[in-house]
Structure 1
Amino acid sequence: MRSRPPFSLSMAAVLTLILGVVISAILFASLRRLEHDNADIEFRQHAKLHVVAIQKSLDNSMRVLTDINQLFVAFGNVSREQFRLFAEPLLARNPTIQALNYQRLVYEADRLAYEAGMREQFPGFSITEKINGVLAPARPRDRYRVVDYIEPMQGNEPALGFDADSYGMQQEAMQRAIDTGEPSATGLFQLLQERGTQRGFIVLMPVYRHGITLTDAPSRRAAVIGFTAAVFRSSDLIAKALAVENPGSLTMAERDIDINVDVGALMNPVWDEQSLIYGTGKLPSIEKSAFGWLLYDQPQPYRQVFQIAGKTWRVEIATPSTLFTKRSSNALWALLAALLFSGGTAFCMQIMANRSRRIQKLVDERTLQLRSVNEDLIADIAARKRTEQALQLRQRAIEASANAIIITSATAPDYAIEYVNPAFERITGYTAAEVIGRNLGLLWEKDREQSGIKEIRGCTLEQREGHAVLRNYRKDGAMFWSDLYIAPVRDDAGNVSHYVAAQYDITSTKRYESELEFQTNRDALTGLANRNLLRDRLGQAISYAYRYGHPIWVLFVDLDRFKFINDTLGHQAGDVLLKAVADRVQSSVRDTDTVARMGGDEFVLVLPERTDAGLSTGIVKRIMDAIAQPLTIEGHEFFISCSIGVSVYPSDGATPEELIKHADVAMYRAKETGRNNFQFYTSEMNERALERLRIEGDLRNALERNEFVLYYQPQVDLRTREIVGVEALIRWQHPEFGMVPPIRFIGLAEETGLIVPIGAWAIQEACRQCKKWQKEGLGHPRVAVNLSARQFTQQDLVDCVAAALNETGLAAEYLEIELTESLVMADVDHAIGILRELKALGVQLSIDDFGTGYSSLSYLKRFPIDVLKIDRSFVNDITIDPDDAAIVASIISLAHSLRLQVIAEGVETIEQLGYLRKHECDQIQGYFFSRPIPAEAMGRMLQDGHRLQAESAGTLI
């Protein structure tokens, strides 16, 4: 037999192999780019959320420091207790702050007196500094910046009394804070409260002398008397900020993300340990090249720089480099399948060439090599089977891809589709038969003004690779977002014959971005704008109004009696009400107006004036009328009213914060004037709000300081002309304002809940004083005490009254509990139960202000009461108004028919006294006999046996 010729590659096999490798490489590169960009998008989304959480936490911390500073601005001299009460809730809501403190400026001449005063509360106290790493008494210097107040005290004891001026690194921040009046951060240093190497920083804000006008830096330096400060642990600040803003989210380790945060450092790639606030470690890196994304999944680090408290903050978030093979990769599988297919095809071509040569040789030697020919034929059949299997594998790999693969012709202008895989059919809803021969533009329908379409057209015209994000439309018309990568396929001559496109459905990613934007700018319950979007819209409106000279109205809307619905029907019903009110308000204003929910039942409206329509009070009335429409919730019909405050740009403020604040002040004025009305802001309202704030602060401590006193107004029996009882009336002896009447603080006490302990004190004190008069032999007058609505609804009311009687030893029959008519009629069944329990104690019960409410005779019969008190509004005009006279006569007759005593309030003239005596009123109370007087004066009146003058009584007969 002749020897076989040497093996040689055929040109067809070589060209087939090269073309297959080129197509495989293009497909691999396209899929790898798609996977890499998808990982980059996901990484940047998470990184942005972390940066927003860090910046928001820092902003909130600065607002806390500003709120603490405003406490000193509002009150001037703030006590340690006031500082503690104000700081505790702020610290609870802001766990990133280690401590809040007030640093007082103490001069050398005052040091001894200051330390002596502090030792009365803190034995062994002295001004300290750190000498050789140990706290020691501060060395003499002209001035000390002493930590006077600090909250929480636990864990921060070493800082109390520390001279912050002894830390030189705080001087720059302190001077910047004085000159600007804004928060200013120090550099990093070791905190006194910490052991070891724990570091932190402090944010300072100056406190200026109260009432001083600050015009420039020299005047600020001369007026500063101290600083408020917030203390932060560097290692905890960022971790707590992320935990607060992203509860339940993955940890850094679980996300495989590193975060570094520094303050005041230069923007260079090397992180300085001295300025590093927070760091999770130095990321390993690889040598990157223009095509590094082919082999590695490493998104570009995300960096953000912002200014807070006079310092530059830098945040860098990165992820370590990883080989793409460490996780499932469609590109790798596609590459393997394509290479296998290309190799198989080239091998098939080579086999076919060898077969041709063998056939030629067999023609010459068919007799001698018949067996070899048969063997070669068998091998050829096996090779063909392997080739077919390789082709099928490549086809299955493309068809199994989760992304849509499209192959189009390169012939302009149609670029007809020649192949689509099953993923395309699943994503678009079109079958292959419906799209073969058509242009890819069928997915865009009429939405052809997208910038991404221009990019795709540029790729086909320039015959290059391209990438675009597009809005596409499925066969049923539903829109979806896609990430499209397109690459040209060239033939043996280098000409572009086809285009291959990989399409990735990113609708869920886009939806997540939209939801994130909605949560950032919209109220979750009502869908209205939230605080962030409100400030942005109002800021834009102010810019426009400033340019064109148009006014803006800002309306602060608060619902009346919303708490009643929440308390009776629950929060779910309250949410239904808020949604309905939001829809009504939105429908009653223009599309260009902004409606925002501030929280709870508070809404803010921004109404800019337009050239075609001015602003008038009719708009406000229309909004109130819309809200006042009846609303049915869980089968109950409600009529909701509202109180509205209005501020106007530019007369009432030039910034969003000022306009919203002043509208809020005006709204409270509307509440005070009876609710269900609106008020425009005036400067006097702001002064009233500041006074209200101060009174509220002082009211919380008034009970502990024994500043409340009771005055007593006698009640006289018209038959015997003797004093038979007194009504206890509370007064507030304020250390600065003097005697404060109840009208200025009772309503505020009701709102804050302080009326409960104040009312309990009034019952206790009235019982004690009445028992004292009895022991002194001054008779047995009964004492009447008013109950507020808050007191009447407290669960331990009966126990509170019983305790006062037991502790003072006063017999129950000498205590009279007064309740207003409207109070007992609010919930009749509940009121009857409480009244019966009180009656079981043996006390007297009276209905005050009778005639002003809406009680019916059937309800009145069910109440176990002893006395009716005629309201002074009827008594005032009984001698000149026939209607009032008839009402008073009817009340007296009604009470006597029910076997009740009658007391007329507000009797001031002898004519009123004569009318009441004529109609057999039992008792009177008013200025005609006596004004409310202190307990000592009342005791003297009882001792002297003061009675209604005989000559006055004689005129009544």
Structure 2
Amino acid sequence: MRSRLPFSPSLAALLALVLGVLISALLFTAVRRLEHDKVDIDFQQQAKVRVAAIQNGIDNSINVLKDVNQLFVAFGTVSREQFQSFAEPLLASNPYIQALNFHRYISAQERPQYEAAMRTRFPGFTIGDISNGAPVPAPHRAQYRVVDYIEPMEGNKAALGIDADSYPFQDAAMQKSVDTGEPSATGLLRLTQERGTQKGFIVLMPVYRPGMPLTDVAARRLAIIGDTAAVFRGGDMIAKSLSADSFMLVSDAKLALNISVYASDDTLGDALIFHQGAPLQLIESSVGLPKWLFYNQPEPYQHLFNVAGQPWHMVVSTPPAWFMNEGSTALWAFIAGLLFSIGGAAYLQTVVDRSRRIQLLVDERTVQLRSVNEDLSADIAARKRTEQELQLRERAIEASANSIIITSAVAPHYLIEYVNPAFERITGYSAEEAIGMDLCFLWNDDADQPGIEEIRATANEEREGHAVLRNYRKDGTLFWSDWYIAPVKDDKGVVSHFIVVQYDITATKRYESELEFQTNRDALTGLANRSLLRDRLSQAVSYAYRYGHPIWVLFVDLDRFKFVNDTLGHQAGDILLTAVSSRLQAAVRDTDTVARMGGDEFVLILPERTDSGLSTHIVQRIMEAIAQPLTIEGHEFFVSCSIGVAVYPADGDTPEELIKHADIAMYRAKEIGRNNFQFYTPAMNERALERLHIEGDLRNALEREEFTLHYQPQVDLRTGEIVGVEALIRWQHPELGMVPPVRFIGLAEENGLIVPIGAWVIRAACLQNKEWQMAGLGHLRMAVNLSARQFAQEDLVESIASSLRAADLAPEYLEIELTESLVMADVDRAIGILRELKALGVQLSIDDFGTGYSSLSYLKRFPIDVLKIDRSFVNDITIDPDDAAIVASIVSLAHSLRLQVIAEGVETEAQLNYLREHDCDQIQGYFFSRPVTAAALTAMLEEGKRLPIEILTL
């Protein structure tokens, strides 16, 4: 009889098929899990970058309020104009700020006086409340917290004078801010100035009375005099933070990010502040399978952070994505495994069928042979299954998007034995080039990395490990990678190989680097910003304290930078700032720090090194580097600077003190004539306070008619007669007495008041000259100095013409004086303006000639009438041969160009004789007369005062 087969051949094939399908399903699940994990890692990285951007944006926004508050800390009393000047650039660079306020505490007793003072500026002003959305006069209270300053005034003027204590939602935030001295935020509120659903919040920061102790809560409450506040548009602020870098707004091609920011305090409305993207959709698992098996959707990323005492939280999510839409390799791996399973099962069925036919033909008595055949069939099936499993694993490794490396476990080189295609794609090395190499060839000569030591320790200790490394492709380009290393053991449990999985994280590192740059660098120049400056200076102070080395802090301010902006526009100003930044960096050492404070202000940190000390030659080198000619849009500019120097530890032991004192020294440099440097001295603090006081009074001096003109005669050396006068402004201050121009002209230049003051001088001088003519005292030439800001104004010619018409004065009796450096700042533009003035009919003169840098090629192009020799040459013409030669040359040059010559500062008869001998036309100075009032000069003209005849005939 034939013996029965131990199992049905069709069943064996079916079992092989089922086993292959099961393995394919497991492979599909494993690959899907890896793909989903990669999506999750990418999502977490993008979410963290955006969280960091929003956190940084909020911190910078709060710092704006701190900067405004610091203005009150630094100066104590801040005028409305100072507050406006300080707030304007902050509002321009932070458009999401609705308003910047200063609230002042006013008692019930102070209210009438305060309202009366405010009505002089704002007619109808009264302290008010808001009732039914409209302002009404505030009822009697013991104390008011009044909106005293607010910027911008446009759109916010209705809030001026409102008692902020009438808003109960500010009470908790204000009390907390007073008690802690730190910024404190209110809850969310709807902004009445905004259309739509924009929500905002207010951040308050206290202003304490200067000099009051702030040791505890009670002391702070006694010292409080007001607060500064900023009204933020929450949604715009967060959107600005995300848009600071273009990559913040662009998600990965496979991840569409939804970003929502909420405030926990929902007492004033919906907690949602900002939302970007589609609403969050969460998919549920189906038929007991995990949702990641067929969909890519990481869990939403949530982050809590503090905004001036208020808790906010952020949710970043992404909508579900069907795995087939993401280019998944898992399905292809499953299909390939399924095809191989079907083929294997068919092959097994064929083998079994052939064995059955053989067994049917063989004698039933050959049991042993049949048994061998059966064993052989079983071995073939097992071998095929093993081959299928190995092939599936190999294909999974080959299909991996990450680099996979298998190395030997033989020390010390652990040579590479296998790399997958992803390794070739990422590194540029082929498998033939990599196999047999040591792993260290991937980092070239860049062996000083902490991660390399971790890899070596992992290999020596035969354990799992992880490291982040800088690697280099075959073409030499750098890429960052995350390395995960695991040992592989043989059948005896001995480690025979290591498997390395390499993830390319270059994009993440680039995001981190760009975010760090934006946080610490100035966007225009690339120099360190305020934040990085304070950090660098703090480190330098710590180092200097430890080793006893000094530090020089230089505060650099460009002279007349506004002239470039006013004449050529802000784009030209940006070009100038960029060029100056490059020159500053080239003028100092690599170890020094150059930072931009804002506008045209720079700060340099120069720490002393052990091999070289610090000297004034360094400052001179910096000034010379800046002073090199610069061509912008076809115009040649000569830029100078004023520098203030503070030295650690003599002038302060904190970064704030050093920067503040260097700033004060810089202003002193400007006061004494610009284009120089000054070291800080304690006496400068007093000058700074005096300067602030004078600046405040200067704004009202014109309308209070405190200015007056003095006149210095100009005498003809041939006749001895007075032929002209120079008008010189004086300020009769009600407290300080007669203030000379050197103390307030520079301030007027900086804050723009020089334009209306200069216009007044021209008009008053013309009226006085006409008055002398009407009195029959001769037809004198009236000389008036013109400032750089006046020269840059668009309506200069019309303004002068208007003054001449108002006085009914012929234009030839008015002489406009311009300094040599002013007309040389932009030669082509200066020539155009001078020609317009000349067409008006006025006389033109170059003042302080010889101290600048004009050339003959320019001088002959200027349509001028007079050269005025600077007093610095006249002082020593009788004792210094060089000065004498210069004066004689200037006189000869002027006459060659058919110009008149006036010598300034003539104080002795010897000086006058030298000038007369060398054919100088006119003089002015103390030898003949000091500057005098209009009445005194009238008396001179009436009595016919002139140079003595004996002097003229010597």
Q: How far did 1:347 drift?
A: 1.8
The answer on whether the counterparts of 1:187 and 1:275 sit within 8 Å (CA) in structure 2 is no
Quickly say closer, same or farther: Cα 1:599–1:233, change in 2 above 3 A.
Answer: closer
The answer on whether the counterparts of 1:25 and 1:335 sit within 8 Å (CA) in structure 2 is no
Alignment-derived partner of residue 373 in structure 1 = none
The answer on whether the counterparts of 1:21 and 1:339 sit within 8 Å (CA) in structure 2 is no
* Larger CA deviation: 467-476 vs 625-634: 625-634
Q: 1:507 and 2:510 equivalent?
A: no
Quickly say closer, same or farther: Cα 1:66–1:717, change in 2 above 3 A.
Answer: same
Q: 1:257 and 2:258 equivalent?
A: yes
2:713 aligns to what SS in structure 1?
strand
For residues 560 and 112 of structure 1, the distance between their equivalents in structure 2, rounded to whole angstroms, comes to 45
The answer on whether the counterparts of 1:399 and 1:421 sit within 8 Å (CA) in structure 2 is yes
* Larger CA deviation: 98-107 vs 747-756: 747-756
The answer on whether the counterparts of 2:201 and 2:232 sit within 8 Å (CA) in structure 1 is yes
Whichever residue aligns with residue 327 of structure 1, its letter is N
Whichever residue aligns with residue 349 of structure 2, its letter is I
Q: How far did 1:866 drift?
A: 4.1
Q: How far did 1:795 drift?
A: 6.0
- Partner deviation per Cα, 1:259-286 (whole Å, 9 max, x = no partner): 2243679xxxxx9978765567985557
Alignment-derived partner of residue 108 in structure 1 = 108
Whichever residue aligns with residue 541 of structure 2, its letter is I
- Partner deviation per Cα, 1:703-734 (whole Å, 9 max, x = no partner): 56655433222334466655432211123345
Matches within 5 A, 1:459-538: 469-475=468-474, 479-483=478-482, 503-522=502-521, 529-538=528-537
- Partner deviation per Cα, 1:798-820 (whole Å, 9 max, x = no partner): 44433432343211221122334
- Unaligned residue ranges in structure 1 (runs of 5+): 266-270, 367-384
Alignment-derived partner of residue 205 in structure 1 = 205
1:330 aligns to what SS in structure 2?
coil
> Identity over the aligned pairs, expressed in percent?
62
Whichever residue aligns with residue 847 of structure 2, its letter is D
Alignment-derived partner of residue 932 in structure 1 = 931
- Partner deviation per Cα, 1:862-905 (whole Å, 9 max, x = no partner): 76544444443454456666776676677667766776555443
1:661 aligns to what SS in structure 2?
helix
Q: How far did 1:319 drift?
A: 1.0
For residues 853 and 260 of structure 1, the distance between their equivalents in structure 2, rounded to whole angstroms, comes to 60
Alignment-derived partner of residue 709 in structure 1 = 708
Alignment-derived partner of residue 423 in structure 2 = 424
Give the one of 945, 948, 951 matched to 2:945.
948
- Partner deviation per Cα, 1:406-444 (whole Å, 9 max, x = no partner): 677899999887765444333334434455677777656
Quickly say closer, same or farther: Cα 1:396–1:316, change in 2 above 3 A.
Answer: same
Alignment-derived partner of residue 744 in structure 1 = 743
2:724 aligns to what SS in structure 1?
strand
Alignment-derived partner of residue 61 in structure 1 = 61
The answer on whether the counterparts of 1:96 and 1:241 sit within 8 Å (CA) in structure 2 is no
Q: 1:51 and 2:51 equivalent?
A: yes
Matches within 5 A, 1:384-399: none
2:818 aligns to what SS in structure 1?
strand
Q: 1:90 and 2:87 equivalent?
A: no
Alignment-derived partner of residue 652 in structure 1 = 651
Alignment-derived partner of residue 231 in structure 1 = 231
Alignment-derived partner of residue 380 in structure 1 = none
Quickly say closer, same or farther: Cα 1:584–1:561, change in 2 above 3 A.
Answer: farther
Whichever residue aligns with residue 201 of structure 2, its letter is F
The answer on whether the counterparts of 1:338 and 1:394 sit within 8 Å (CA) in structure 2 is no
For residues 887 and 474 of structure 2, the distance between their equivalents in structure 1, rounded to whole angstroms, comes to 82
2:509 aligns to what SS in structure 1?
helix
For residues 27 and 469 of structure 1, the distance between their equivalents in structure 2, rounded to whole angstroms, comes to 29
For residues 743 and 144 of structure 1, the distance between their equivalents in structure 2, rounded to whole angstroms, comes to 42
Q: How far did 1:742 drift?
A: 1.9
For residues 444 and 466 of structure 2, the distance between their equivalents in structure 1, rounded to whole angstroms, comes to 20
For residues 898 and 268 of structure 2, the distance between their equivalents in structure 1, rounded to whole angstroms, comes to 89
Q: How far did 1:926 drift?
A: 3.0
For residues 857 and 585 of structure 1, the distance between their equivalents in structure 2, rounded to whole angstroms, comes to 32
Quickly say closer, same or farther: Cα 1:49–1:878, change in 2 above 3 A.
Answer: same
2:109 aligns to what SS in structure 1?
helix
2:945 aligns to what SS in structure 1?
coil
Give the one of 580, 587, 593 matched to 1:585.
587
For residues 875 and 621 of structure 2, the distance between their equivalents in structure 1, rounded to whole angstroms, comes to 38
- Partner deviation per Cα, 1:609-668 (whole Å, 9 max, x = no partner): 56x547432783696499489899999999998765433333333333332333344345
Alignment-derived partner of residue 730 in structure 2 = 731
Quickly say closer, same or farther: Cα 1:59–1:454, change in 2 above 3 A.
Answer: closer
Q: How far did 1:360 drift?
A: 3.6
Whichever residue aligns with residue 145 of structure 2, its letter is R
The answer on whether the counterparts of 2:712 and 2:929 sit within 8 Å (CA) in structure 1 is yes
Quickly say closer, same or farther: Cα 1:746–1:180, change in 2 above 3 A.
Answer: same
1:710 aligns to what SS in structure 2?
strand
- Partner deviation per Cα, 1:486-522 (whole Å, 9 max, x = no partner): 7899999999999876544443443444444445445
For residues 541 and 176 of structure 2, the distance between their equivalents in structure 1, rounded to whole angstroms, comes to 30
Q: How far did 1:594 drift?
A: 4.1
For residues 90 and 25 of structure 2, the distance between their equivalents in structure 1, rounded to whole angstroms, comes to 62
Whichever residue aligns with residue 784 of structure 2, its letter is V
Quickly say closer, same or farther: Cα 1:495–1:523, change in 2 above 3 A.
Answer: same
1:98 aligns to what SS in structure 2?
strand
- Unaligned residue ranges in structure 2 (runs of 5+): 365-383
- Relative to the length of structure 2, the TM-score reads 0.78
1:141 aligns to what SS in structure 2?
coil
The answer on whether the counterparts of 1:34 and 1:485 sit within 8 Å (CA) in structure 2 is no
2:140 aligns to what SS in structure 1?
coil
Alignment-derived partner of residue 376 in structure 1 = none
Quickly say closer, same or farther: Cα 1:272–1:303, change in 2 above 3 A.
Answer: farther
* Larger CA deviation: 485-494 vs 777-786: 485-494
Whichever residue aligns with residue 948 of structure 1, its letter is K
Q: How far did 1:294 drift?
A: 5.7
Q: How far did 1:25 drift?
A: 3.3
For residues 883 and 413 of structure 1, the distance between their equivalents in structure 2, rounded to whole angstroms, comes to 81
Q: How far did 1:766 drift?
A: 1.9
The answer on whether the counterparts of 1:106 and 1:143 sit within 8 Å (CA) in structure 2 is yes
Q: How far did 1:219 drift?
A: 4.4
Q: How far did 1:843 drift?
A: 2.6
The answer on whether the counterparts of 2:259 and 2:275 sit within 8 Å (CA) in structure 1 is yes
- Partner deviation per Cα, 1:567-616 (whole Å, 9 max, x = no partner): 99967985885575356335xx3x65545455677654434456x54743
For residues 196 and 140 of structure 2, the distance between their equivalents in structure 1, rounded to whole angstroms, comes to 28
2:97 aligns to what SS in structure 1?
coil
1:140 aligns to what SS in structure 2?
coil
For residues 73 and 305 of structure 1, the distance between their equivalents in structure 2, rounded to whole angstroms, comes to 32
1:327 aligns to what SS in structure 2?
helix
Alignment-derived partner of residue 357 in structure 2 = 359
* Larger CA deviation: 711-720 vs 119-128: 119-128
- Relative to the length of structure 1, the TM-score reads 0.78
The answer on whether the counterparts of 2:190 and 2:200 sit within 8 Å (CA) in structure 1 is yes
- Partner deviation per Cα, 1:547-577 (whole Å, 9 max, x = no partner): 5555433344567899999999967985885
Aligned length: 924
CA RMSD, Structure 1 to Structure 2 (Å): 5.5
For residues 196 and 794 of structure 1, the distance between their equivalents in structure 2, rounded to whole angstroms, comes to 42
For residues 421 and 252 of structure 2, the distance between their equivalents in structure 1, rounded to whole angstroms, comes to 38
For residues 490 and 896 of structure 2, the distance between their equivalents in structure 1, rounded to whole angstroms, comes to 114
For residues 359 and 490 of structure 1, the distance between their equivalents in structure 2, rounded to whole angstroms, comes to 44
For residues 541 and 151 of structure 1, the distance between their equivalents in structure 2, rounded to whole angstroms, comes to 37
Matches within 5 A, 1:554-703: 554-556=553-555, 577-578=579-580, 581=583, 584-585=586-587, 589=589, 592-596=591-595, 604-609=603-608, 612-613=610-611, 615-617=613-615, 620=618, 624=622, 627=625, 644-670=643-669, 678-692=677-691, 695=694, 699=698, 703=702
1:109 aligns to what SS in structure 2?
coil
Quickly say closer, same or farther: Cα 1:342–1:878, change in 2 above 3 A.
Answer: closer
The answer on whether the counterparts of 1:205 and 1:228 sit within 8 Å (CA) in structure 2 is yes
Quickly say closer, same or farther: Cα 1:326–1:722, change in 2 above 3 A.
Answer: same
For residues 881 and 495 of structure 1, the distance between their equivalents in structure 2, rounded to whole angstroms, comes to 97
Quickly say closer, same or farther: Cα 1:106–1:527, change in 2 above 3 A.
Answer: closer
